Chains A and B, each alone.
Chain A
């Protein structure tokens, strides 16, 4: 095999090495492959890849979901999807979510993470605001609450007649908010729903970024400060470039969540909101499959959703690469 391997044999092991190389499929090696590669791969193939492929096949049939019979219809389901105004509206809402949610969440959590790590007093050691560990714990609270509870809770807060939000606003003298339906007006329903999701995730991404920022050597911040960089300049020139990979990962995770968003949207507006303004694809998929008994069409929706998710991830990678993100990792 490779000359390099034999040309520099460690002293005294040359003969043994020679025999070992010949018995390529030793028990040791086969069992290693079987356990560490075979088993996980089999699990992955059976439980991840094969359902994907199956769903793709079903998306080209008119399967109702409750029989064993189905007819192959080719790409007809996809044609129906793209001429269905409600599904297109849901897709638009998902894209809106995928654009807005990661951006807002990540900016907010970056600001908070900077404040609790490097935003403190400019004298002495680089540190966060006073009591920063307290803020860190408190802002993580929402992430601990299950999504469905967050949805139900905010549904109550937004209640037009007895909700906390309108109670506070009317008590503050803003009479126009008496009985104002935050989730029931087309202008506010989407924004109100987005706020709930952002509220639930800012704390988590803050903790993620805090961990990343802690990994940056303190000398870099000190050096920047000695050079006269203010807090904003430090954040844009030191923090962000150095935790760029974390931001990219966070962006993709949050984007995937935004493309799903099922739990939040169902809890806040089960029917899709006023004029379908908060309807997302996964909701439409669910009702098409289980309420309308059109599993073939629903599978097509799933495939479209998966393609959009992959495209979104690819886009984030591409943008990051084009703006010079890969330089840091090399």
Chain B
């Protein structure tokens, strides 16, 4: 055989292959520029009636993807079973996901998203990103529930605000969340402490706690922005809706509002006095929360009402977890002390491209009816946005009782805001808040850093803005 010529030939062959390797994907990529074929979906529809207000087709399948976090997915399966019972022949497929964005992204691009999604968790899809692809759910809240009452009238006040974008109700957030400063009622009773209602009283309590070898607050690196939540809530109560609208609409100098500045100054005093447990910027937030709820080395912790469920296993026996509203700066605040930051979490969305839009809405309607909502409250020890599902004893939970009390006391004075989540700013804000709580910056630096983060979003023309009124 002619050995000498083979290397040359092989080289030539490989050269040809290489050229092909470069050319083939180029052709492919040009073809892919066209993108997938979009399609308008108008699934088969059934007859509209009181029992079937959205005209779900007979014998159809509802495809629901539920975020599996602290609340699990059993409550959704429960609602799915109810739908199957009410509409014979219908199948409700309830699937769990812990990673909504990555798992569903290909389905959105491919034009076959699920009929109902619980868009929650650390990897949720920013609603702003898919806003134009979602159904307006006003039709759901204007429909009657299974008991024949209009759903809108059965909900707590303000709970639809987080899902409202302009005139569109893009998501119905199912679980009621109350943001509060949480403490151990038994510890406070023991020491004769009162819950501080202003930042000055906070500082005074900090000194008393120090006397017991305890800190006033502690924090974890992933949850430093819980203090941002506390600051915004406090500033809105002090300065009124102006503060909220300036922030939500990313206005210039929104962080320099006098109310916001006085709240931050109050916090800075606490930080500088050494009443924050040091080392928080290097502590995992669950570890920090355990320092408060188990070790009692800190006495207060700002958080949402999910804290009870989250720390269930580590809560000290006899802790008597209780919540109090965020403090104000002065007694002459625009909102009363009882005003509350309450929002709803677990955003349920129905994509317009889904095969069974009516089915997704029907399942949501079922979830918002008495049976399913009560089932949720009983098993998850948390309230849905549906009123009147929590009994007097809060199923034996002091936190749930205090949550209901706070809501009753607040009445109509309930507010929320969305800019941090809508524009995905939490990650950037965490950085500056860790530094602030660590005592390594001051109010002026924090203000200008936060303003920079806000300005960056406002000036980014590629981010579509949501106007809040």
Contacts and interface: CB of A to CB of B under 8 A. Distances in A.
Nearest to B428: A86
Interface in A286-328: 287, 290-294, 297
Contacts of B428: 86
B28 A160 contact: no
B101 A290 contact: yes
A184 interface: yes
Nearest to B29: A53
A161 B431 contact: no
A66 B32 contact: no
B237 interface: no
Nearest to A49: B25
A26 to B, nearest CB: 14
B291 interface: yes
A123 interface: no
B279 A53 contact: no
B29 A50 contact: yes
Interface string B372-399: 0000000000000000000000000000
Nearest to B99: A290
A161 B279 contact: yes
A57 B33 contact: yes
Contacts of A287: 424, 427
Nearest to A192: B282
Contacts of B21: 41, 44-45, 49
B244 interface: no
A103 B109 CA distance: 43
Interface in B395-433: 423-424, 427-428, 430-431
Interface in B92-144: 101-102, 105, 108-109, 111, 123, 125-126, 128-130, 133
Contacts of B279: 160-161, 179-181, 184
A54 B26 CA distance: 9
A67 B102 contact: no
A266 to B, nearest CB: 11
Interface in B22-81: 24-26, 28-29, 32-33, 35-38
B277 A2 contact: no
Interface stretch (A92-100, A142-150, A272-280): A272-280
B435 interface: yes
Interface string A56-90: 11000010111111100000000000000010000
B27 to A, nearest CB: 10
Contacts of A64: 129-130
A2 B4 contact: yes
Binding site secondary structure of chain B:
helix
A259 to B, nearest CB: 21
B431 A54 contact: no
A6 interface: yes
A68 B38 contact: yes
B346 to A, nearest CB: 18
A241 interface: no
A137 B29 CA distance: 48
A230 interface: no
Given A53-B26, A184-B280, A66 B105 contact: yes
Contact of B431 (A4, A57, A276): A276
A21 B128 CA distance: 66
B438 interface: yes
A184 B438 contact: yes
Given A54-B29, A276-B431, A159 B5 contact: no
Nearest to A70: B35
Contact of A179 (B24, B37, B108, B277): B277
Contacts of A294: 462
Contacts of B191: none
A30 to B, nearest CB: 12
B128 A293 contact: yes
Interface string A185-204: 11001000000000000000
B282 A160 contact: yes
B444 interface: no
A255 interface: no
Nearest to B3: A5
B221 A17 contact: no
Contacts of A186: 440
Contacts of B277: 161, 179
Interface residues of B, number: 56
Contacts of B424: 287, 291-293
A155 to B, nearest CB: 6
A161 B126 contact: no
Contacts of A50: 25, 28-29
Contact of B284 (A68, A155, A275): A155
A251 interface: no
Nearest to A4: B4
Given A66-B130, A292-B424, A4 B2 contact: yes
Given A2-B2, A54-B29, A290-B123, A181 B102 contact: no
B281 interface: yes
Contacts of B4: 2, 4-5
B317 interface: no
A184 B221 contact: yes
Contacts of B431: 271-276
B281 A184 contact: yes
Contacts of A44: 21
A276 B430 CA distance: 10
B32 A54 contact: yes
A269 interface: yes
Nearest to B433: A271
A62 B282 contact: no
Contact of A274 (B24, B283, B435): B435
A292 B1 contact: no
Interface string B265-293: 00000000000011111111001000100
A20 to B, nearest CB: 8
Contacts of A189: 282
Contact of A159 (B36, B109, B284): B284
Interface string A155-190: 110111110000000000000000111111110010
A41 B17 contact: yes
Which of B277, B297, B435, B462 has the most CB atoms of chain A within a 10 A radius of its CB?
B462
B430 A271 contact: yes
B380 to A, nearest CB: 26
A271 B222 contact: yes
B53 to A, nearest CB: 28
Contacts of B221: 183-184, 269-271
28 contacts: A1-B2, A2-B2, A2-B5, A4-B2, A5-B2, A5-B3, A21-B2, A37-B17, A50-B25, A68-B37, A68-B111, A155-B284, A159-B287, A160-B280, A161-B297, A182-B282, A183-B282, A184-B280, A186-B440, A271-B431, A272-B431, A273-B431, A274-B431, A274-B440, A275-B431, A291-B101, A293-B424, A294-B462
Given A4-B4, A160-B279, A275-B431, 10 more contacts: A17-B1, A50-B28, A53-B29, A65-B129, A66-B125, A158-B282, A159-B283, A160-B282, A184-B221, A271-B430
